[in-house]
Copies of this chain bind each other. A is one copy, B any other.
Amino acid sequence: MELGMVGLGRMGANMAERLVRGGHTVVGFDPGAAAREQAAARGIGAAASLAELVAALPAPRTLWLMVPAGAVDATLAELRPLLAAGDTVVDGGNSNYKDTVRRAGELLAHDLHYVDSGTSGGVWGLQEGYSLMIGGEEAAVERLRPIFETLAPAAERGWGRVGPSGAGHFTKMIHNGIEYGMMQAYAEGFAILGRKAEFGLDLHQIAQIWRHGSVVRSWLLDLSADALGKNPDLQGIAPYVEDSGEGRWTVAEAIDLDVSAPVITASLMERLRSREKDSFADKLLAAMRNEFGGHAIRKE
């Protein structure tokens, strides 16, 4: 198929390359000239503007957005007038599903299809394929089947339409919430292992053992083994953990739906905590202990 890729950052360029390798024709656009040049070197056609990109595609057109969540509305505002009835826009990024539901309605009013593809796989997706959780009208999704079959790890596996517009991003959001919990579980476990000085454990070795036959084997464990192999003591890495939004949304959704989710929530809290270098809460705890018990306070 022919597809226009909007956004040629790490994810967008990799996905475009995987499609090109799979026999599709991809024209890409990115506001950055460097990104366009690098894409061209990887066999991805590079348009100089959204208008040029749209003009290069046959009707009905397929545009795949791989832009930051905060840039989707602006991109759609620019793109919409360039499109014609029957065209399809896919949002493959990490948009909030509520925005997706709204946007699908807005585009539908112009006879445009809007498909959301929650996309997992990270930098490894180029080689291993992406896991795609797709929301949107059945016919619109079905028309893009060749795209999904190429992006996914295998034609029939690793992708699927999970529901109407928004369902794909909703599912990806929960996926990331689970990811937070799993990561935190491993992180705590390895931290305990590493603290047990009397056994002198080799965390990389243990990760390698667990990768084969154990109940906790997983792709995140494979990656942890890689990280611990390269840098056993994780020297030089700050204990500072970003979050990209989906974990927050998962917690909010759990609460909205009255579902108790203590572990996903605790994982998010730990990420927030990792970024507090001078916790007011902990200072107040120390101050309270001093007030009632005369316990000494550490000076900063």
Contact = CB atoms under 8 A, between A and B. Distances in A.
A81 interface: no
Interface residues of A, number: 134
Interface stretch (A30-38, A40-48, A198-206): A198-206
A132 interface: yes
A150 interface: no
A194 B266 CA distance: 21
A177 interface: yes
A179 to B, nearest CB: 5
A255 B267 CA distance: 12
Interface in A253-292: 253-255, 257-276, 278-292
A158 to B, nearest CB: 3
A122 interface: yes
Given A251-B251, A265-B269, A269-B261, A239 B157 contact: no
B178 A254 contact: no
Contacts of A194: 280
Q: How many copies does the complex hold?
A: 4
B279 A202 contact: no
Given A181-B182, A212-B154, A266-B263, A293 B123 contact: yes
Contacts of A193: 170-171, 174
A25 interface: no
A234 B283 contact: yes
A264 B280 CA distance: 16
Most buried by B among A133, A269, A295: A269
Interface string A136-176: 00000000000000001110011110111011001100111
Contact of A213 (B158, B180, B259, B263): B158
Nearest to A282: B239
Contacts of A240: 282, 286, 298
Interface stretch (A50-58, A69-77, A224-232): A224-232
Contacts of A133: 206, 209
Given A206-B162, A276-B260, A287-B231, A292 B199 contact: no
A217 interface: yes
Interface stretch (A59-67, A105-113, A183-191): A183-191
A245 B285 CA distance: 16
A165 B197 CA distance: 14
B270 A262 contact: yes
B187 A281 contact: yes
A130 to B, nearest CB: 5
Contacts of A217: 131, 218-219
